[in-house]
A and B are shown apart, each in its own frame.
Chain A
Amino acid sequence: MTSIWLSSASATVRRVVLPLRNGRKSYSAKVESRLSERVVESLRAVTGKDGVSVGSAVREQHGRDESVHSCRPPDVVVWPRSVEEVSALAKVCHRHRLPIIPFGTGTGLEGGVGAVKGGVSFDLRKMESILDLHQEDFDVTVEPGVTRTALNSYLRDSGLWFPVDPGADASLCGMAATSASGTNAVRYGTMRENVLNLEVVLADGTVFHTAGKGRRPRKTSAGYNLTNLFVGSEGTLGILTKTTLRLYGIPEAMVSAVCSFPSVQTAVDSTVQILQCGIPIARIEFLDDVMIDACNRYSNLSYPVSPTLFLEFHGSEKSLEEQVSMAEEITKANSGSDFNWARDPETRGRLWKARHDAWYAALALRPGCKAYSTDVCVPLSRLPRIIVETKEDLTTNNLTGPIAGHVGDGNFHCLMVLDPDDPAEVQRVHEFTDRLARRALALDGTCTGEHGVGLGKRGLLREELGPQAMGVMERLKASLDPINLMNPGKVL
């Protein structure tokens, strides 16, 4: 079975879908770029010879991220070196009606970089400067090629750090585009709370700053909140070429702790009470019994196989003593047992190893399978109910889905381990994730706490927001990107 599509743009298009063994579809490596040489030359005129590639391997690399969505390669990849080049390239794309897909590190989890309508992938890694660090003001501006660990390495002697940690070593501008979060959001917030200003290039090449050029006050009430309009826009409104970030002081000391509970309810109750006591806990992570069992096997540990909380406290020596003892009291009151804690980095690393290896431990449960992570988020009080119902759903439908979650935010992930060559299982997982998302929506939550909407959750977004809010979003999109060049097929 083959299908041939003709494009409405310039040259001939031949995208061939080949049937491979086991009915798995794959895009042929011989996909021809659908761009005429003339267009490629005008791109080269901006970036120089080395800044443009139509090589099939390069394009395939830029058509996938870390999600399970299949590869959708762009027609060409460009590497701009400055915001002026980004703007000039955008103008070329605008003139020729080519989709624009910004590419940071390709570590997204929702297929956000897939070029569903072909187009030009803007690989921004050559723009890698760290600019304007203001230590006394706790802010810094970075370009899209700067990753989270690169920034924190740069900052280490200054006593400051950027705490938002989504796990992968992602581009900071990419994290802004997807409104990333992480394990210590409960104390330091997500990207929404920590981006002060953005430099944006729109589809027609217009360059502007969402809070005004160079501005970085800690708070503002000047005009519409454009900064947070673009945070989380997933490349559908503009290309982020600079982001000004809020920094924090590196904590004087850290303590990590682990505690097991007889049930999900008691674990979550402890979480709620710890937060209600005002303990400024930095990380509070939940692993269910299936997950702990997987971690025990994978990392050769011997944690009791029951719902477990991993906690981390940041602060001065004195405040840590207080925080840890209060937290211990609370966990004991909720039938928590085996409260283990550690202060020095080596032991803390060992304590948390289980949580760090969770993804791989889940994959190791069924070698040869792939993993997909769900991402719902509900108000704290609804968490026990949704986790219990979800676990029942998993068992009834014979699915492997160990649970790990940022309970402090009401956000949890089922790491679905599935055999991609078993269409029945793929279907069951798909239906399960839909049910899970709807369960979260019914409990006043969201279908995506931190991964974004990307390709796969557009329908759910519509359900979550309702037609009026969706209408407003569509109007905004139409006004900023009337011919839908910015990352088409995502979010809306």
Chain B
Amino acid sequence: MNCNPIFFFQIRVKPDRTGVVTDGVKHSMNPFCEIAVEEAVRLKERKLVKEVIAVSCGPQQVQETIRTALAMGADRGIHVDVSGKDYENLGPLQVSKILAALAKKEDASLVVLGKQAIDDDNNQTGQMTAAMLDWAQGTFASEVVIEGDKIKVVREIDGGLETIQIKMPAVVTADLRLNTPRYATLPNIMKAKKKKIDYMKPSDLGVDLISRIEVVSVDEPPQREAGVKVESVEDLVSKLRDSGRI
């Protein structure tokens, strides 16, 4: 799961233009990851899966995100520690290597993710993870039905819905309309404190974090300029000409 700045906070670009300010900005679980966790928990409630493990890669603060997933009903958590410069450069390629390694280690038959993170909007991790594991993938899922060892996935595509059938083990990424995630309630938050979170480093999984992408610069969208009032149509046309728009 991803830990992002909360979506209604005012985001500001850092003065050195290498990214956005994250200090002091409230973070919470990526909305699509919430939907993914909810779906996994519902599958367990329907007794179609045995155990739900919540995974997050990042510094200490992602433990809060894992605890929220545990409060929603996941059984245990895994915190893959990535901090400092490594965390700033952490992208879908590295995360998918980590998830692939974990899926093998835990002998998982299903990996569920949010379709994309709302901070970088990459939409690559699920697909890359499936490719690395050589597993089937059902992305942009708005409905997931497990039938034996097969999964029927209804995918949201441009212009409509596509239904596919894939064989497990598989990777599924959650889209907006898959479900409405539950709130973590106080009794469940209390119970979650007792659930286990395993701690490991990427090196424990044999994964290197070298990034092949360098962020060159991050800019805010151009400031909106004040409009100019004109007195006549001729004025308007000449102003449009002057600014090169016609």
Contact = CB atoms under 8 A, between A and B. Distances in A.
Contacts of B68: 157
Given A150-B8, A153-B6, A157-B28, A249 B183 contact: no
A184 to B, nearest CB: 15
B8 A250 contact: no
B118 interface: no
A345 B183 contact: no
Contact of A250 (B29, B180, B183): B183
Contact of B188 (A150, A153, A159): A159
A37 interface: no
B189 interface: yes
Nearest to B184: A159
Interface residues of B, number: 17
B182 to A, nearest CB: 8
Interface string B1-42: 000001010000000000000000010110000000000000
Interface string A126-156: 0000000000000000000000001001101
Interface string B169-198: 000000000001011111111000000000
B187 A154 contact: no
Given A153-B6, A153-B8, A154-B6, A249 B186 contact: yes
A159 B185 contact: yes
B71 interface: yes
Which of B8, B29, B186, B188 has the most chain A CB atoms inside 10 A of its CB? B186
A293 to B, nearest CB: 30
A126 to B, nearest CB: 11
B119 interface: no
B64 interface: yes
Nearest to B68: A157
A252 B26 contact: no
A113 to B, nearest CB: 24
Contact of B184 (A154, A250, A345): A250
Which of A158, A159, A160 has the most chain B CB atoms inside 10 A of its CB? A159
A216 B156 CA distance: 48
B185 A157 contact: no
B180 A159 contact: no
Nearest to B180: A345
B184 A157 contact: yes
A159 B26 contact: no
Interface string A155-196: 011111100000000000000000000000000000000000
A249 B8 CA distance: 23
A251 B26 CA distance: 24
Which of A157, A159, A160, A250 has the most chain B CB atoms inside 10 A of its CB? A157
A157 B64 contact: yes
A160 B183 CA distance: 9
A13 to B, nearest CB: 26
B183 A156 contact: yes
Given A157-B28, A157-B64, A252 B187 contact: yes
9 contacts: A153-B8, A156-B28, A157-B29, A159-B183, A249-B185, A250-B183, A250-B186, A252-B185, A346-B180
Interface of B: 6, 8, 26, 28-29, 64, 68, 71, 180, 182-189
Interface of A: 150, 153-154, 156-161, 249-252, 316, 345-346
